[in-house]
Structure 1
């Protein structure tokens, strides 16, 4: 899934995993999206009986952190699942996740639409004591417009990202939980999580800037849309004509291609 020029920082998915490593120019970040801690509680309320997978999720992140050699973790939003104050189960999972990560590296969160109370939770749990720089074992929660670390912009994608984010050579977003529905030669069907990647198209951002009466951002970079780390979330069926959720998609993705977690290149996501 390599798509970069010598001037462009690398954002490379880890083979077989819903996570990537970003070489930002300021370090090496493990990046993942849509963790949805405590999701099983919400599913049980809907009649779906599942055991709690909190330990499995956390251990997967820690394993990827070790294998990647990253010096920070970036969580692209929807770290929690409850919209508003998390329940006791979700709060405990968040506490254990941040405790395990901050023993090793700083954590940056670009909050999503499910993270309305996350900054207060992080502060209450005592993880927001530092400045989030490399080597500082704290959790930094940005505002909803995201942040830029070195040459890579990060945002959840449920709202318009900040100018500094979209002007980065590579922009990483989430929120869509992109999936593709595949059919084999005998009619069998399966749904798999997918990456989307292409150029970041300036059109939607120029129109948004015009509506706001501000100068448009200078956009000339790539866009990577991350799959959900939590495999219980469902998602947007990008090859079935389902509407996207982000305000700048699909128009903001030019020449978008889909890739499976194992690296299989599917080509234009609309014609898979």
Structure 2
């Protein structure tokens, strides 16, 4: 029986990725140092969750037996070059991974512009428009993906931090992180890339990862007035399904 290209880890905002020669643990939007960013951006004072974030990731590695960590963008929170406690958090994470002989691959996001300068040779950086490893396309989602990533049968992205607001019978509500999955439409990408006749297309499924960082907010995909952040959404995803991290299928995301 073939292993699924992308298999969510039950109860976690993470998935295992079959990259052909390796099995990876995929997460999106780690946002190291977010507490520092929230202090400067919003005046919110929060104790750092750096140690807890790192231990959650390491426990998922132990649980899945993955050989690599893939971060689908926004490893760090501040858009500027990471320094201070933010850089320390990434450094300690990389130290822990290297102690396990587990490399990290980063599909660069809009917050990751200075990562290469601060951590040269410690992270495998993908091109800004993503890449394909095995039969999995890896992108962040803040820009149009390149033809290589789109040639895969499954395309994984972050950036959106998808969430759903669920309301009970008495009017109470809660917000939960969610997965968003569905077939990609070729037309928007062919138009944007100007490659109608050249774009290799294997009817890919798009998998939008929930944010790994629980403090990073997100896009309420089932609330009127919320707009997507990726330039190719929602046009590129006509019939996506929403799922909670515990595996509960909520149905078409527009109808949740």
TM-score where L is the length of structure 1: 0.89
Find out whether 1:171 has 2:166 as its counterpart: no
Cα deviations by residue, 1:51-90 (Å, 9 ceiling, x for unpaired): 0000000010000001101111100010001102123010
Q: Is the 8 A contact 2:5 2:135 kept in 1?
A: no
Q: What corresponds to 2:19 in structure 1?
A: 24
Aligned with residue 49 of structure 1, among 42, 45, 48: 45
Structure 2 segments unaligned to the other structure (5+ residues):
none
After superposition, where does 1:181-196 map in structure 2 within 5 Å?
Answer: 181-196=165-180
| Corresponding position of 1:266 | 250
Whole-angstrom CA distance in 2 between matches of 1:33 and 1:237: 17
Deviations 1:32-58 (A, max 9, x none): 000000000111222222100000000
- 1:94 corresponds to: 90
- How many residue pairs get aligned? The number is 253
Would you say the 8 A contact 2:177–2:244 is kept in 1? Answer: yes
CA distance in 2, matches of 1:32, 1:229: 6
**SS of alignment partner, residue 196 of structure 1:** strand
Q: CA deviation at 1:215?
A: 3.1
Pairing 1:147–2:131 present: yes
Misfit runs of 4+, over 6 Å: none
Q: Using the TM superposition, give the Cα deviation of residue 253 of structure 1 relative to its aligned residue in structure 2, in angstroms.
A: 1.5
Other-structure match for 1:220: 203
Is the Cα–Cα contact under 8 Å of residues 102 and 139 in structure 1 kept in the other structure?
no
1:147-197 Cα offsets, whole Å, 9 max, x none, are: 211111101010111211111011100100000111001100111100000
* Residues 184 and 238 in structure 2, CA contact (< 8 A), matched pair in contact too: yes
**RMSD of aligned Cα (Å):** 1.6
1:9 to 1:162, Cα distance in 2 relative to 1, 3 A: farther
Structure 2 matches for 1:69-80, cutoff 5 A?
Answer: 69-80=65-76
State the TM-score, normalizing by the size of structure 2. Answer: 0.94
Aligned residue in 2 for 1:3? none
Q: State the shift of 1:24 in Å.
A: 2.3
In structure 1, C-alpha distance between the alignment counterparts of 2:166 and 2:106, rounded to whole Å: 32
> Residue in 2 aligned with 1:110?
107
Q: Which runs of structure 2 are paired with 1:188-207 in the superposition (5 Å)?
A: 188-207=172-191
Distance 1:174 1:228, change over 3 A: same
- State the match for 1:209 in structure 2: 193
Point out where structure 1 has 5 or more consecutive residues left out of the alignment. Answer: 1-5, 129-137
Name the structure 2 match of 1:35.
Answer: 30
Q: CA deviation at 1:214?
A: 7.7
